[in-house]
Structure 1
Amino acid sequence: MKHKQNMDLTEFNEWKCEVRKNVYQFGQLCSLISDGYDRKHGGIVLDPDYQREYKFGKKKESSIIESLLLNIPIPVIYLSKDTEQEKVLLNVIDGAHRLKAMYRFKNNEFALTELTKLKSLNGQKFDQLPPNVKNRLEMDSQINVESIDVSNNEELEYEVFMRFNQATNPLTRQELNEVVYRSKFSLWIKDTLIQNLSKMCKFKKMFKYNDTRKKDKTINYDLYACLGYSYSGLVEGKNDTPYYVERFMKDMKNLSEEKLELKKVEIENYLKGFLDFYNKISIEEEIENIFSKEFVTQITPKGNHKFLISFLIPLTLSYDYLILKVFFERDKLIEADYHLAYKAIVRGMNSSKFIDFGGVSSTSYRFQKKCIDYIKESIDQMIRRDTMK
């Protein structure tokens, strides 16, 4: 009889979680969170780069506090720690919302509301609680915290985060992308570029910027889609936007420091021209929702139809083709240029019967390729006519 060979334990040891269990009180955790904001040794960091935007409302926050007062167990908090670092910080892998609710209450940022058992406390902030209740919360509450040592494998932290969230509270597509393809580039997009763009009215208007789309990273996804299609062009056989987003993020993750800085400048300049161009068309043609059927029909759409990836794709590629053809110099445009360009794009869309989806996937390669080919032909005709004048 043949004996089975033992498994090589190298990978097993690399990914095995070493977990330490602790019990903390409310006051202790709030103090450690404060240290985390100051990046002090041993502090708890609520917002590592992969964490989601905070989404708890006051009712949910209040429920957490009521549970702690009643010693009703709340789910375990999971932290990561790298003890090989000179300054050890504890990143929150799971439980960031619960911890932030505690910290916000400790700092009097909300009053308890809609409590179902301790109704007499409704309307009270932390400093307004009776002394015995405040002491009970600070010193007698019990919160289970488990820390995972990632000293030998920093990727373990991200792996645990994804597994927790996929099992209990699934990540949106872009939230997952920003964990899998996290890099200096993706952090720059999230923390710098989008923050700067969000201060621009034309960006907020075109990309339908609001709190919901911001929190679930839809804004990030749509911006990556624009950059991804511009970066790759249409790739034969690739029908879904996720391919273009992920390919772009993956390639940007692998950039050297020098190329990364050049790419940042390139993208900022590209988006400046892109937004200026379609903002001007929006004003001249009186189109409120550029990336929608309104671009062609000039009829205001409803609900989620005010921003469609299926329109973002051809309008991104149309802009790129206009730049390639040197139809205009971006800093010297006149109103007629915008109007002619708009008419050429619409003519191409109508010729390809673009807005008549007819059950076909509106982002499919064949559908989009047909549209952009007609648009390019229409733009070429426009340029020839302009040259003959």
Structure 2
Amino acid sequence: MIDNEDVEDTRDDTDDEEDFLSDSNEPAFDPRKINIATEQNSLATIVMMIKDGIIDLAPEFQRNPGIWTPIKKSLLIESVLLGIPIPAFYFDTSESGHESENSYEEKWLVVDGLQRLSAFKEFIIDQTLELTGLVLLTDLKGLKYHQLEKFLQLKLNRYQVTTFLIRPNTPKEIRYDLFRRINTGGLVLNAQEIRNTLNRGKPAQFLKKLAEDARFSALFPIKNDRMADRELILRYIAFYNKPYTEYEAPFAKFLDKAMEHISILKQSELENIENAFWQALQFIKDADLDINKKRPNKALFEVLCVLLGKLNTEALSKLKKNKENFIKAFNDIKSDKNSEFYKSTYEGTASKPSVLTRFSTIEALIEKYKK
């Protein structure tokens, strides 16, 4: 949800989050290509990997690692000291053994277990967590890691944890699905956070650049830290790069592919996307088009940004001259709740008929008023 205080325009919010399944009877991928290895590691090894940055607990795309209370963190430490098994950790090792600009790096992306790992870091590495709310080991209340007796420190370090590793040769389309199935703890990653996780580098940075630009953030002050702004922009990029007539459901996978595609675009192509975006936003701002600024209707946003952004200088100039008539016509079709266009922007927006309806309708409207 983009703005919990604003209840308008909500029916398109979950289409791309929940629409993972194709209408086809064919499986989404070959399950034989799933490659997940199981390892037993000591907690000391896991802590060392966190300290060395192999396991990164604070990447730009991740959930807030600090949503657990001190009591919940302390109870986790107590469970380990008591030898009670804790849930397994899941990591994506697809970036293992990749060369960075400066060095040869190994990275494990946290799929599930971020809150537990963060608790171990806070207690063992940072040594800022004081044990509290303990149920059985009450004599340890108020102690930090360095204040524990040596045998208890050794018990923590020798504790064995189960780790499941998604191997690099697992295809990306399978990794999307695994992230969605496995990620269950704390605050579950949403679809866009998963895309950012699996498309770090140029795709993630390009979306971040556009989302943080004042030309966008001032016009659409989206109250959200779950990448709703970046998903909104990705919808625009997806349809900018692929004709709407060629769209195929499911919508979530359409956006997955669009984000992957950014990685192979040339700088000139990225600049074209960016310039078209600013052109569209400027028109939306000048015309004060009603698509709800705090909680933008995603379907209206994408279609307006794509079609306005693709106008050449002459067509844009003519549309500006007829701006008042265009605005009135736009508001009329947008408010007709019995029309197919209205349904295509509020109900079942991820279906191909809805995509075709909303794009062709606005396309015809722009064509009429740019003459």
Give TM-score scaled by structure 1 length. 0.63
Aligned: 1:375 with 2:366: yes
1:366 to 354, 357, 361: 357
Q: 1:147 to 1:103 in 2, by over 3 A?
A: same
Aligned: 1:227 with 2:237: yes
Matched AA of 2:361: K
Aligned position for 1:154: 169
Task: Tell whether the 8 Å contact from 2:287 to 2:327 is kept in structure 1 after alignment.
Answer: no
Matches within 5 A, 1:301-316: 306-316=295-305
Aligned position for 2:144: 129
Structure with more helix by fraction: 1
Task: Tell whether the 8 Å contact from 1:47 to 1:96 is kept in structure 2 after alignment.
Answer: no
Aligned: 1:101 with 2:157: no
Aligned: 1:69 with 2:78: yes
Structure 1 segments unaligned to the other structure (5+ residues): 1-10, 37-42, 295-304, 330-336, 381-389
Matches within 5 A, 1:1-389: 15-25=34-44, 29-36=46-53, 43-46=54-57, 52-59=62-69, 62-71=71-80, 72-79=84-91, 87=104, 89-91=106-108, 92-106=110-124, 108=126, 115=133, 117=135, 129=144, 132-133=147-148, 138-141=153-156, 142-146=159-163, 148=165, 150=167, 153-155=168-170, 159=174, 162-163=177-178, 165-167=180-182, 169=184, 171-178=189-196, 182=198, 187-190=201-204, 192-210=205-223, 213-215=224-226, 217-235=227-245, 242=252, 245-246=255-256, 248-249=258-259, 251-252=261-262, 255=264, 259-282=265-288, 291-292=291-292, 306-320=295-309, 322-323=311-312, 325-328=314-317, 340=321, 342-351=323-332, 353-358=333-338, 360-362=343-345, 363=349, 364=354, 365-380=356-371
Identity of aligned residues (%): 14
Matched AA of 2:239: Y
Deviation at 1:223, TM superposition (A): 0.6
SS of structure 1 residue aligned to 2:115: helix
Matched AA of 1:355: S
Matches of 2:364 and 2:56, distance apart in 1: 50
CA RMSD of aligned residues (A): 4.4
SS of structure 1 residue aligned to 2:40: strand
Q: 1:272 to 1:140 in 2, by over 3 A?
A: same
> Which has the larger displacement, 99-108 or 231-240?
231-240
Matches of 1:368 and 1:146, distance apart in 2: 46
Matched AA of 2:201: L
Offset from partner CA, 1:352-371 (integer Å, 9 cap, x none): x2222337232412244224
Task: Tell whether the 8 Å contact from 1:206 to 1:291 is kept in structure 2 after alignment.
Answer: no
Task: Tell whether the 8 Å contact from 1:79 to 1:90 is kept in structure 2 after alignment.
Answer: no
Matched AA of 1:193: F
Give TM-score scaled by structure 2 length. 0.65
Task: Tell whether the 8 Å contact from 1:30 to 1:103 is kept in structure 2 after alignment.
Answer: yes
